[in-house]
Structure 1
Amino acid sequence: MLSLLILFSVYISIFLLGMFMLKAGLYALSGHRLKKWLLHFTKTPFQGFLTGTALTALLQSSSAMMIITVGLVTTGYLTFRQSIGIILGSNIGSTITTEIITLDLGASAIPMLLTGAFFVFFLRHRISYSIGMILIGLACLFFAMKGFGDLAKPLASYPVVYEWLKKTDRSNLLGIAVGMLLASIIQSSAATIGITMGFLHEHLLTLPAGIAILLGANIGTCVTALLASIGTSQEAKLTAYTHLWLNIAGVGIFFFLIHPLASFAGSLAAKPDVQLAHVSVLFNVLCSVAALPFTRFIEAWITFIHKK
């Protein structure tokens, strides 16, 4: 059991390393223009929404996007109102990662890794370096996803893990709690969803249980922004609180739609892990688009409940 848990931890580390490498490569391609784009294209909530979606997809991390946003609000370059549109967009942009990791490219991981290493260490050019980092990051993601799938059955053979899986299948609230806890500890909702996909792929979890974990992960990932807001301005704190409250509200609504969502996802794809990725996109798009027209109300409400 201990050796499996250590190996599982190694795969989580490889996944997070892949996320970091992918993010670093994409960021290197854009240079320091990300902040300029963020400042220039966020004058209205809709612009902020589109910019948040695009830049989060580019960064491959809603947490990184939130850290940048909180930092810009702290320094006064962005207002709290502008940050709301960015938050809504970042929730959609983050779903690109879950769609990428459903691609069945495990056999290509080693060639991708070797090609990326060649680009990074032997071609002395910024663009070549960036492409190499992206390839290495993708290789790590696909390798880790294969590892999650391979370890799912051996882990499930232990009574403790088996009982936990069964309890999660029976209780959506427990699934949400598990997703929150994992995403808070790992500091990545994508990694949490990736682990869940591994169990789904081996049919060790039902899709409703996977959706519940996904919903919890959306709340757990807010911890990063809350930590980043410690010691910052009041407006920056409000930005972090908004990220948390919007995700809690979305999860509260969709908690009652878990089984209808699971049924609908069955018509979108054959594999349960791909179905979960599609549910992630659907959940975040619906929540963000529904909230976008009410940015003024959201601003007033968050300011009221968190006023000094």
Structure 2
Amino acid sequence: MFFSVLAPFSIGLSFFLFGLYAMRSGFQNLAGKKMEQWMYKVTRTPAHSFWMGLITTFILQSSSAVTVLTIGLTNAGMIPFTQTVGIILGTNLGTTITTELVALKLESFAVPMLLVGAALWLMPRKSIRCIGLVVAGFGLIFLGIDTMKVMAAPLEQSDTFRSLFLESRHSIWIGLVTGIIFTALIHSGTATTVITMGLMSNQILTMETALAIVLGANIGTCFTAVIASIGTNTASKQVAWCHTLFNVAGALIFLPFLSQLALVSAFLTDNVSMQIAHSQTIFNLICSLVALPFTAQIAAFIQWLIPDKKR
């Protein structure tokens, strides 16, 4: 049973993460160095910063990558910390776009997208080749999802696995910690969410446990940023910890209301994968929009918490 679970999981996750990387490379090559220039110019107001964080997160397919990029720009003195809070709020919402697309269950298009992407990659024009990378990346993502679904049947029959998740029904904290640790290990909150969707589709998890894992995944994405901030200036550390504390606070506030969040998402759709995607979008949308008018106060609090010793 171990091999029947580990093999499809490892292969599927590899396809999925490589697909994300291919999409990121394609988008990055299309945008070039303009992305850094955009982030430098279009961060004058919290609203501008928010949209920049949302768009760049979708382009880079990783909130961690955008936060690390923001840390780099802050460390170089190109963006002051106070202008990065809006970017951080936007990154959380930007991660939900890919999840919503994945929840549409487009696995049947995996092979055609791979073939189209490969054909476009053979074209001489650079922009078309980059588009090919993006299309092939999506194909790999869907292929990875389809492969990981194979592990659901043996897991469903496992008494050990079932008892573990039966315990998590009594304590959503287990789901939260699972989401944090797993996302920190694989460096992809989207992958954690997709795996959770697969388990939910086979009725291995309860919706409350699944949503707790997704909230944990939001926190786990901050691990990369915290590591990237080691050895940088104070402003860069403030960016990393602002992202971390915001996600922790949002998860802790929403944790008692997972049943209500599940009811709202169930009202919107009968599809359990879409319910998880919608719940994640609702969670991040509410957290970001509520915090957006208070970016100055959030920045002041983080600066008080992590003061610049030079000053």
Same-fold call, TM cutoff 0.5 = yes
Q: Partners of 1:147 and 1:204 in 2: how far apart?
A: 17
Give the corresponding residue for 1:230.
230
Q: Partners of 2:105 and 2:294 in 1: how far apart?
A: 39
Q: What's the secondary structure of 1:175's corresponding residue?
A: helix
Deviation at residue 163 of structure 1 after TM alignment: 1.6
Q: Is 1:70 aligned with 2:71?
A: yes
Q: Partners of 2:143 and 2:234 in 1: how far apart?
A: 42
Q: Partners of 2:105 and 2:15 in 1: how far apart?
A: 17
Q: Partners of 2:35 and 2:266 in 1: how far apart?
A: 37
Summarize deviations over 1:61-93 as a string: whole Å, max 9, x none: 111111110000000000110111100011111
**Mean Cα displacement is larger for which, 258-267 or 163-172?**
163-172
Q: Partners of 1:53 and 1:209 in 2: how far apart?
A: 27
Residue 266 of structure 1 aligns with an amino acid whose one-letter code is A
TM-score, normalised via structure 2 length? 0.96
Q: What's the secondary structure of 1:205's corresponding residue?
A: coil
Aligned length: 307
Give the corresponding residue for 2:94.
93
**Mean Cα displacement is larger for which, 165-174 or 86-95?**
165-174
Give the corresponding residue for 2:46.
45
Alignment of 1:104-143 (within 5 A): 104-120=105-121, 122-143=122-143
Give the corresponding residue for 2:260.
260
Q: Partners of 1:117 and 1:81 in 2: how far apart?
A: 43
Alignment of 1:116-265 (within 5 A): 116-120=117-121, 122-265=122-265
Is the contact made by 2:8 and 2:150 (CA closer than 8 Å) also made in structure 1? no
Q: Partners of 1:260 and 1:81 in 2: how far apart?
A: 34
Q: Partners of 2:165 and 2:78 in 1: how far apart?
A: 46
Q: Is 1:83 aligned with 2:84?
A: yes
Residue 50 of structure 1 aligns with an amino acid whose one-letter code is W
Deviation at residue 2 of structure 1 after TM alignment: 3.0
Deviation at residue 148 of structure 1 after TM alignment: 2.4
Q: Is 1:20 aligned with 2:1?
A: no
**Mean Cα displacement is larger for which, 173-182 or 150-159?**
150-159
Is the contact made by 1:183 and 1:217 (CA closer than 8 Å) also made in structure 2? yes
Is the contact made by 2:28 and 2:59 (CA closer than 8 Å) also made in structure 1? yes
Q: Partners of 1:214 and 1:135 in 2: how far apart?
A: 26
Give the corresponding residue for 1:271.
271
Deviation at residue 185 of structure 1 after TM alignment: 0.5
Q: What's the secondary structure of 1:266's corresponding residue?
A: helix
Is the contact made by 2:11 and 2:147 (CA closer than 8 Å) also made in structure 1? no
Q: Partners of 2:195 and 2:239 in 1: how far apart?
A: 29
Q: Partners of 2:288 and 2:36 in 1: how far apart?
A: 22
- Residues 54 and 252 from structure 1, CA distance in 2 versus in 1: closer, same or farther, beyond 3 angstroms? same
Deviation at residue 286 of structure 1 after TM alignment: 0.4
Is the contact made by 1:177 and 1:213 (CA closer than 8 Å) also made in structure 2? yes
Q: Percent identity?
A: 37
**Mean Cα displacement is larger for which, 174-183 or 110-119?**
110-119
Q: Partners of 2:200 and 2:104 in 1: how far apart?
A: 15
For structure 2, the 5+ residue unaligned runs are none
Is the contact made by 2:107 and 2:143 (CA closer than 8 Å) also made in structure 1? yes
Q: Partners of 2:216 and 2:33 in 1: how far apart?
A: 33
Summarize deviations over 1:175-213 as a string: whole Å, max 9, x none: 101000110101110000010000011111111111000
Summarize deviations over 1:115-138 as a string: whole Å, max 9, x none: 111211x21111111111011110
Q: What's the secondary structure of 1:270's corresponding residue?
A: coil
Q: Partners of 2:138 and 2:84 in 1: how far apart?
A: 30
Is the contact made by 2:23 and 2:135 (CA closer than 8 Å) also made in structure 1? yes
Is the contact made by 1:60 and 1:96 (CA closer than 8 Å) also made in structure 2? no
Give the corresponding residue for 2:303.
303
- RMSD of Structure 2 on Structure 1 (CA): 1.1
Summarize deviations over 1:30-69 as a string: whole Å, max 9, x none: 1211111111110111210111112212222111111110
For structure 1, the 5+ residue unaligned runs are none
Deviation at residue 296 of structure 1 after TM alignment: 1.6
